[in-house]
Amino acid sequence: GWPRMGSRWCTRKKVDLFQKTVYGERNYTSQPGRNQSIIEYHGIHKGEEKSRSSHKNTYRHIKWPLVKAGFTKDDNIKYCYSHGFFFGGLYEEISRASCYCCPLQPRSYFQWLKKNRPFLWKELKKSHESSPYGFKVDSKSPDHVLAI
């Protein structure tokens, strides 16, 4: 089924793959002191660090160089543009890119998706048909999200 705030299985898969690659087969959280030489550099921008502060883990060394340098989201996008990364014009149309099918996106994103990426909207609806529960916690389908 769809991810939820309390069950973000899609994010968990990404994190698990990263941890397995960097830390090996054993669970890194059960190894105090084992990973002291590994530093994780997370690419979050100034302003996002407040939402990430609860993710502190004494077994990991995490650094946020963009936050330290004071880079905002706009600074990061300008930097990417200046180096030839234009993301297919995506940031000219929406303010934040994420997984197209994430039910945690705001309603305005799904309005944009339906209008500008109808092939992805069709895939989203197709996926909903095979899901054991509604797309959003308080709704039944992607179309219902737009009707609210």
Give 10-59 as a DSSP string.
HHHHHHHHHHHHHH-SS-GGG-TTTTTT-EEE--PPTTTHHHHGGG--TT
Other residues' Cβ atoms within 10 Å of the Cβ of residue 45 = 18
Q: What is the mean pLDDT of residues 103-128?
A: 88
| pLDDT single digits (tens) 40-66 | 788 888 888 766 655 555 566 788 899
Flag whether the pTM goes above 0.75. no
pLDDT digits (tens, 9 = 90+) for 72-94: 989 999 999 999 999 989 889 88
Average pLDDT, the chain: 78
Residues 120-128 have a mean pLDDT of 87
Question: How would residue 140 be classed by pLDDT, with cut points 50, 70 and 90?
Answer: low
Give the pLDDT score at 107: 83
pLDDT tens per residue, range 11-45: 878 878 877 887 776 555 545 555 556 777 888 88
For CA atoms 81, 88, 52, 111, the dihedral sign is positive
Residue 52's contacts (CB-CB under 8 Å, 6 or more residues apart) are 42, 44, 64
